[in-house]
Structure 1
């Protein structure tokens, strides 16, 4: 099993969102403080005859002869596998792999993980190029699990312009999936999240063949009158109550301020799916992914005694964060892959149109060591400077993020007008060109703030002293 830290995932249905788009989003958190990431477009393939072998655990499978183009965010160091993590393919299907979850020892006793089975490092590579809908994403992954088994416990998000599906694989072969209702949102923080399964409703639930028999045979259901996947397969431990449930509490506190009244950070039974109390904007999703228990005693950037009690959503160890905006515009060809590099609390989300055939050099070429021409390293450097003088620099940093969000909305609206009259390769070429312009604007604005704060930081040194002007 790979040595990962954790992630936080958010899903927002099209009737719950402000713009009518489906959204899936996640912070990809890692154990390493620095894990360089690239943003790439992987080309479509035809007439391929290759076998995939994972560098991480040697899972081996023949690749399909044809695969679609897709965006991805692979790890620079691929000795532990590609870890492409997330993307949008040319059929306008998005996926995010994975939200690490934890199964209890009772279920693992009867269905342990498969050492050479599917793991996070390979999932995006082996699934996203081959699926044509969110539902097919679950079906395709389920077939791979049946064939290869799972090496880990993973939650996966799939979305298209019509549907969002969330799938949890918790043992070597057992899994379920639920369709997120259009007027709802869901948040999951490294816990088994899916609750009651209606086996009479295959339009909204999917499951591994034989899972009911598995549970019955091994007497695994602790409830008298329900089939709650979280209760049967999940955990409810002290670690959950300090590491996981507080993140759900904070997200629901923001997105469902009325329904979540009375919830506490350590509550173990907070609902996975909630109806939205207001239309959720892209900026609201950003706020949650950037959050660190803001305006509560649990904020690690504050000075309250409780500031280190719970694990926050935004971490210094976030490798990258993404928001996949599945828009129902221009025959579904202008969906947006939002990328955040650095620390979510301090860095902006950058919008890239997914229907492109290249990414900007600053995102594509990532050196192993710091270089400010690389978007990854530039954002990491800015985050480090802001955090080092948080009280002095946070207001300017927030203004910079707000300014770029405003610019992004205007830019996207301008591009949409032009893109409406384009088709085929002309549309792809135009969106690729616009992505380069977007990257350039964000990079230049980030450099400007970075150098401004770096200069101001020289005046904040603890080694300074009031100098006699006559010296």
Structure 2
């Protein structure tokens, strides 16, 4: 089976971030330009006796009797599975499923994908409600892979308030995972990214049982003196150098301007994990996920001959983008699930408080066709208008995004202050109410800009004609 996603993921450790919180983030890119997404809170369950069957590939899993509440961003169309993709559960654990990755034909010859194994459509549903730490996310997923196999290659991010683990499942049963150091960040763009594995350090690395024997038995390691997962299981092709590596190059160029000097877009050996050269803010993560090789000849919105050479990070076919900010609940009362709908380059990230039990109707209810009452469709419409007159509208659009980021920081600080003495259901009710206020504010501001630009666009038609005033 082939993955249908083509995402870009970013992870930032707590000592690498500006405010000391942990971040995992991803653009969920799809084959189609339009794939409507919803934002939901899935309720906790108890005493359940159910079996999950994937509509996509019929993988069948007996569900645990109990599961925690969690946020998620499922697809409106459920015929290819729920595709819940990402979320934060009530144990304050975040996860993002998945970064599509591709193994080489050598390793797949000996451990092919399992047709009705685990795939992206099911992973969030089958894992996030049941894990209590980032490490447990890897362990739990590893056990599922051992039992059911994997239908495709997938990279998965798990985070709690102290740790980030990145896991890559690349064949039917082989996988590894690495803990991202606290003072580092990592970027991955649809390639096997994890490098050297230290099998004597289980605190920072995890792996499928028997993976060393598998590699040795089938003579799969091309290196003389190292065990590099990327070299053994990954690919290095012309497609990688035009579709994947340029995204790593651009992200590291921005986040590690000194260390990345000399790197080129088609370099195949750029490091997966980098030490942060400055403290990375939420806005920096947004910049990377919104980017399209800005200020380079490769920008598809520019006019240089090279503008179509490489696949950018922000795409018209991004279904949604998310930044999961996991905060210490001893200091704050909630983590934050930032959601961007539409095209990341043109639309804002909206902060929703994760410790809530409902979402706004404009995010919950998404019709199949364009309807500006729906946040998904409203943002798609704005993106289309901005791109249609990019040079004329981009400055106003960027000012609008900046304005909303400023508003978001003030709102979060206010809510953090108001929740200091709240607990239990009173806290959940308050945060749920605040999420409705956040949605209302963003929808109102987006609608205003949409109509303003739509009106201005009427003056920009190529069908216009200047009349001689003397006629």
- For the aligned pair, the TM-score class normalised by the smaller chain equals over 0.9
Question: Residues 426-451 of structure 1: CA distance to partner in whole angstroms, max 9, x if unpaired?
Answer: 11000000000000000000000000
SS at match of 1:439: helix
* Deviation of 1:93 (Å): 0.2
How many corresponding residue pairs? 471
What is the aligned partner in structure 1 of residue 121 from structure 2? 121
Mark the runs of 5 or more structure 2 residues left unpaired by the alignment: none
* Deviation of 1:174 (Å): 0.1
What is the aligned partner in structure 1 of residue 450 from structure 2? 450
Q: Retained in 1: the 8 A contact 2:333–2:420?
A: no
* Deviation of 1:5 (Å): 3.9
Q: Retained in 1: the 8 A contact 2:326–2:336?
A: yes
* Deviation of 1:466 (Å): 1.4
* Deviation of 1:3 (Å): 5.2
SS at match of 2:2: coil
* Deviation of 1:11 (Å): 0.1
* Deviation of 1:467 (Å): 3.5
Question: Residues 282-301 of structure 1: CA distance to partner in whole angstroms, max 9, x if unpaired?
Answer: 00000000000000000000
Q: TM-score, normalised by structure 1?
A: 0.99
1:79 aligns with 2:79: yes
* Deviation of 1:332 (Å): 5.6
Q: Retained in 2: the 8 A contact 1:92–1:333?
A: no
Q: Retained in 1: the 8 A contact 2:7–2:27?
A: yes
Query: Structure 1 277/331 Cα, relative in aligned 2: closer, same or farther at 3 Å?
Result: closer
Q: Retained in 2: the 8 A contact 1:252–1:260?
A: yes
Displaced runs of 4 or more, over 3 A? 329-333, 467-471
* Deviation of 1:328 (Å): 1.4
* Deviation of 1:470 (Å): 8.2
Mark the runs of 5 or more structure 1 residues left unpaired by the alignment: none
Distance 2:245 2:110 in 1: 27
SS at match of 1:176: strand
1:41 aligns with 2:30: no
Distance 1:280 1:269 in 2: 23
* Deviation of 1:329 (Å): 4.1
Q: CA RMSD in A?
A: 0.9
Distance 2:2 2:423 in 1: 42
What is the aligned partner in structure 1 of residue 433 from structure 2? 433
Distance 2:178 2:19 in 1: 23
Distance 1:209 1:424 in 2: 41
* Deviation of 1:333 (Å): 3.5
Query: Structure 1 368/469 Cα, relative in aligned 2: closer, same or farther at 3 Å?
Result: farther
Q: Retained in 2: the 8 A contact 1:3–1:31?
A: no
Q: Retained in 2: the 8 A contact 1:330–1:420?
A: no
Distance 2:465 2:428 in 1: 57
Which one is further off, 459-468 or 96-105? 459-468
Q: Retained in 1: the 8 A contact 2:3–2:100?
A: no
Question: Residues 114-136 of structure 1: CA distance to partner in whole angstroms, max 9, x if unpaired?
Answer: 00100000000000000000000
Q: Retained in 1: the 8 A contact 2:41–2:70?
A: yes
* Deviation of 1:2 (Å): 5.1
What is the aligned partner in structure 1 of residue 65 from structure 2? 65
Q: TM-score, normalised by structure 2?
A: 0.99
* Deviation of 1:4 (Å): 1.1
Alignment of 1:224-373 (within 5 A): 224-330=224-330, 333-373=333-373
Query: Structure 1 330/443 Cα, relative in aligned 2: closer, same or farther at 3 Å?
Result: farther
